[in-house]
Amino acid sequence: MRVLGIDPGSETLGWGVVEGLGSRYELVGFGTVKSSPKQQFSKRLLNIYNGVAEIMAEHSPDILAVEDTFYAVNVGVALKLGQVRGLMLLLAEQRGLEIAEYAPRLVKQTVVGYGNAEKHQVQEMVKVLLRMKAVPTPHDAADALAAAICHFHHAGLRGKLAAQANDSRI
């Protein structure tokens, strides 16, 4: 199974691809899609769409793991992030990918063990879990990799629970 993790952002969107099975996984690639804040928002959305479409074409993921919305003090920022998330969901649906959404606190809890972990803590744990030589930078890419790792842990748990439910019916 190949998972594309996304940390939505209208100026810097983080992405990371992780491959594996269950709780065993390895790094495939990571990076960012950058857009200029000087551009019209619609042009930034097009840039993000095209950039992530290229990543999907290159890495052929099976699943999109994306950070769910969070409460922001600035309503405008929250709306823009929601629009970027919508683009990611659209891209995944167009390509027939399974979609998994995780709250940012759950991603941090899963990867670091603490739901209020700071960016550098997430980067360090992603480095350890993916056996990287250096922390993934920028933090947007590390957050995307963390979302993908989170999916491996929670998808494995869902599978075990489903199997257990089927066994109990017999």
Q: Which of 143, 140, 141 is nearest to 117 (CA)?
A: 143
Q: Please list the active-site residues.
A: 7, 67, 140
